[in-house]
Structure 1
């Protein structure tokens, strides 16, 4: 897959139009080394259809617009991704490793709580119905705390 095809694929994955992509790229005001100017919309379209070679100085800007690493613009196969992560982990700082660990914990939490199949609850009475039936017995501070925590979970799920 050529880089322009990969970029077009990522544009589609991100549900962007080529016009939106072009506008976001131009808004970052990348300067071409050859002219010192920001590429025009027409030039960006030529990059996307493969009739013009993409200038190397645009790669970081394109990656930023698509919210991917520069590496992801060139490849997305499993072997290359694995090698990329191995290289990253070799030189990662403690702060970066902690960030990765935190992200993995969130993913694990998401898989456990957010994506857990509801069918597991559907024995004779759903867990939700059972909890609702017990709410009249809960003290007000517990209900307030429960409401706060459920609101936080809702916001977390909406942000994913």
Structure 2
């Protein structure tokens, strides 16, 4: 997939029209190195249809106009996204880890407990036993949601 095709796909997935995208991009006032000017709407349409090559200096502005990261312009398959996420996790900041905790509704763990999931019963033995005993009373949607969240946590722990 060429970059212009990827951008068009993202425009469509965001429910933008090409005109809305062009306006968003122009509102950011990117300057082309060759002319020092902001690209015209007509030039942006040429980028989108593949007639003109997209200038590298426009990439950050295009990403901002689409409300995505620059990396998302180039990572659209599962393998690329996984590699990007693994690289991101190698140097994760406290703030970024907090965002992930909020996304997965995690309690505040110490870094060591996040990196090494507990597979054996320890101080949480009673809590685990109590949860297991109560599971037969849980409705199916709750169990399905719990299963999804636990799988997400398992994958999250593998990447750290």
TM > 0.5: yes
- The residue aligned with 2:77 is 77
Q: How does 1:82-101 map to 2 (within 5 A)?
A: 82-101=82-101
1:30 aligns with 2:30: yes
Q: Deviations over 1:5-28 (max 9, x none)?
A: 000000000001000000000000
* Gap regions ≥5 residues in structure 1: 107-118, 122-160
Once the two structures are superposed, the pairs formed by residues 1-160 of structure 1 within 5 Å of their partners are: 1-105=1-105
How far apart are 1:75 and its partner, in Å?
Answer: 2.5
Residue 133 of structure 1 is matched in structure 2 by none
Moved segments of 4+, more than 4 Å: none
Separation in 2, partners of 1:4, 1:105: 36
TM-score by length of 1: 0.65
Task: String of CA shifts for 1:72-109, please: whole Å, max 9, x gaps.
Answer: 11121000000000001101111111112112229xxx
Give the number of aligned pairs: 109
Q: Deviations over 1:45-64 (max 9, x none)?
A: 00000010000111111111
Question: Secondary structure of 1:76's match?
Answer: coil
Other structure's SS at 2:104 match? helix
Report the RMSD for the aligned CA atoms in angstroms: 1.7
Where do 5+ consecutive residues of structure 2 fail to align?
107-138, 142-160
Residue 127 of structure 2 is matched in structure 1 by none
Tell me how far apart the structure 1 counterparts of residues 9 and 140 of structure 2 sit (CA, whole Å).
37
How far, CA to CA, are the matches of 1:103 and 1:66 in structure 2? 22
